[in-house]
Structure 1
Amino acid sequence: MEIKIRSIAPGDNAALAHIVRAALREHNMAKPGTVYTDESTDHLYELYQAPRAAYFVAEENGEILGGAGIGALEGDVCELQKMYLAPAARGKGLGKKLILQSLAFAKANGYTQCYLETSPELAQAVKVYAHLGFRDLPGPLGNTGHFGCDRWMIRDL
């Protein structure tokens, strides 16, 4: 499998929104308070044009497999955002590659910590986050608007 990781492009929005929402439906998380109902999910290219933000897309032979992004949260803390993969792309280390590339971007852009919000329904993702050094927090950090997520994690960069 020849997989390329690149920066998001304007034409990626629809495919990425489909992957994000399909993954949330698959895990019974298609509900308010998650990125499922977040309007920005349909406009990821535009969202990640902000300063100190980036979104990385994994593709194979022109087919988008998923992605992960970094956005500012508060001060020198960023957030790992919208980390989703199509079912066929899971279990191959691709999520780890996307996360590591995102964390490298974050560190290079002056962030000292990376936060994320998730849910126990995404158990495999939680295992990957913990393996990569994310630790649990007792509550949310900042105001992301994603009240449907009930697990919060952070990692020093």
Structure 2
Amino acid sequence: MNTITITPYTPTYQPDFKRLNLEWIEKYFRVEPHDLEQLDHPETHILPNDGQIFFAKENDRIVGCVAMVNMGESGFELAKMAVSPETRGNGVGKLLCLAAIDYARQLGVRTVWLESNRVLTPALTMYARVGFREVPRVPTPYDRADIRMEIAL
């Protein structure tokens, strides 16, 4: 595997953000309205209040991404994690996840949480390996979400 670098969002990467996420969402689920809000308009729905999107670059190609959304008192949501199919299994998701957690820690965030689906076993396994633990679910805008996990920082 070539060297992977993690880089923050710039508007140039918005099409990659959308492409990578639509790829996995359409494979396993259906694209929901909240997905399109975030994917089409990250400057409005993700980046305010210290939100961030990190990208994994291999050479000049974007091969992964993850968003950190400031959800106020409930902490930051780790969202829109995606790794290109040809790059999966090489630790890119873990690099992105650790970069996102480190970012939240630097901001003094106390809790990072995520919502996912139990069919995404490799992702759930990776989240558990970096310290996320299952917690009770709360209302969510996603029909597909059937598990909530969080990590205390």
Using structure 1 for the length normalisation, give the TM-score. Answer: 0.88
User: Is 2:123 the counterpart of 1:122?
Assistant: no
Residue 128 of structure 2 aligns to a residue whose secondary structure is helix
Counterpart selection for 1:98 from 85, 93, 96: 96
- C-alpha separation between the residues in 2 aligned to 1:53 and 1:146? 20
Kindly indicate whether the alpha-carbon contact (under 8 Å) linking 2:22 and 2:31 is maintained by their aligned counterparts in 1: no
Residue in 1 that maps onto 2:32 = 32
CA distance in 1, matches of 2:31, 2:80: 15
Q: Which runs of 4+ in 1 moved over 4 A?
A: none
Task: Identify if the C-alpha distance between structure 1 residues 64 and 45 changes in structure 2 by more than 3 Å, giving closer, same or farther.
Answer: farther
State the shift of 1:11 in Å.
1.2
1:146 and 2:142 aligned: yes
Tell whether the 8 Å contact from 2:38 to 2:46 is kept in structure 1 after alignment: no
CA distance in 1, matches of 2:152, 2:143: 24
Once the 2 structures are TM-superposed, how far is the Cα of residue 60 of structure 1 from its aligned partner?
A: 1.5
CA-to-aligned-CA distance 1:27-78 (integer Å, 9 cap, x gap): x21243773xx32212335544312211101111211111111111231611
**What root-mean-square deviation, in Å, do the aligned CA atoms of Structure 1 and Structure 2 show?**
1.8
Moved more, 71-80 or 98-107: 71-80
Confirm whether residue 111 of structure 1 aligns to residue 112 of structure 2. Answer: no
Q: Which runs of 5+ in 1 are unaligned?
A: none
Provide the secondary structure at the position in 2 that maps to 1:121. Answer: coil
Structure 1 equivalent of residue 6 of structure 2:
5
Count of residues in correspondence between the two structures: 152
C-alpha distance in 2 between matches for 1:60 and 1:3? 5
Which residue identity is paired with 2:32? Answer: P
Q: What is the CA–CA distance in structure 2 between the aligned matches of 1:80 and 1:46, rounded to whole Å?
A: 16
Aligned to 1:66: 64
CA distance in 1: counterparts of 2:44 and 2:59, whole angstroms: 24
Aligned to 1:75, the other structure's residue is in SS state: helix
- SS class of match (2:65): strand
More relative contact order, 1 or 2 (CA 8 Å, 6+ apart)? 1
CA contact (8 A) 1:76 1:111 kept: no
Once the two structures are superposed, the pairs formed by residues 74-85 of structure 1 within 5 Å of their partners are 74-75=72-73, 77-85=75-83
Distance 2:105 2:5 in 1: 22
Residue ranges of structure 2 left out of the alignment (5+ in a row): none
Out of 7-16 and 110-119, give the one that drifted further: 7-16
Secondary structure of the residue that 2:144 maps to in structure 1? coil
Tell whether the 8 Å contact from 1:120 to 1:126 is kept in structure 2 after alignment: yes
